[in-house]
Amino acid sequence: MDLDFFSKSIVIGLTEHAPLVLAAIGFALLYRLTGLINVAYSETITLGAYFGMWFNTTYDLNFYTVLLPAGIVAGLISVGTYFAVFRPAKKLNVGALEMIIISFGLSIVLRHALQFVFGYPVRFFEVPPPVSIRVLGVGVGAFRILAVASVAAVSLALYYFIQRTSFGLQIRALASDEDLAQASGIRPLFVTVLIWFIAGVAGGMAGAFYGVSSSVAPLLGWRQFLFIFLVVVVGGRKGLGGVIITGALTGIALAAMTLQFGQVLYAQLALIVAFVALLKWRSKRSIETVKV
Closest approach, Cβ 114 to other proteins, in A, equals 10
Nearer to other proteins among residue 4 and residue 98 (C-beta): 98
| Beta carbons within 8 Å of 289's beta carbon, 6+ residues apart | none
Give strand ranges (E) for the chain. Answer: 132-135, 138-141
Closest approach, Cβ 120 to other proteins, in A, equals 5
Closest approach, Cβ 142 to other proteins, in A, equals 31
> 141 pairs with which residues across the strands?
132
Q: Which of 23, 55, 19, 18 is nearest to 198 (CA)?
A: 23
Closest approach, Cβ 106 to other proteins, in A, equals 6
Closest approach, Cβ 249 to other proteins, in A, equals 17
Closest approach, Cβ 49 to other proteins, in A, equals 18
Nearer to other proteins among residue 112 and residue 187 (C-beta): 112
CA 58 to each of CA 24, 51, 126, 204, 214: distance values in angstroms, whole numbers, following the listed order:
29, 10, 10, 18, 19
Nearer to other proteins among residue 68 and residue 259 (C-beta): 259
Determine the Cα angle at 108 with ends 103 and 109, to 5°.
95
Position 3, amino acid = L
Closest approach, Cβ 113 to other proteins, in A, equals 6
Nearer to other proteins among residue 104 and residue 159 (C-beta): 104
- Judge residue 52's burial from the number of C-beta atoms within 10 Å of its C-beta, 0-12 exposed, 13-18 middle, 19 or more buried: buried
Half-sphere exposure of 102 (CA within 13 A, CB side): 19
Nearer to other proteins among residue 89 and residue 216 (C-beta): 89
- Cα dihedral 165, 76, 193, 94, rounded to 10, equals -140
Full DSSP string of 263-288: -HHHHHHHHHHHHHHHHHHHHHHHHH
Nearer to other proteins among residue 104 and residue 124 (C-beta): 104
Nearer to other proteins among residue 151 and residue 271 (C-beta): 271
Position 106, amino acid = L
Full DSSP string of 58-108: HS---HHHHHHHHHHHHHHHHHHHIIIIIHHHHHTT--HHHHHHHHHHHHH
Nearer to other proteins among residue 167 and residue 222 (C-beta): 222
Closest approach, Cβ 151 to other proteins, in A, equals 23
Confirm if 171 and 191 have CB atoms less than 8 A apart.
yes
What are the residues binding other proteins (CB under 8 A)? 37, 85, 88-89, 92, 94-98, 100-102, 104-109, 111-113, 115-116, 120, 222, 226, 229-230, 233, 263, 265-266, 268-269, 272-273, 275-276, 279-280, 283-284, 287, 291-292
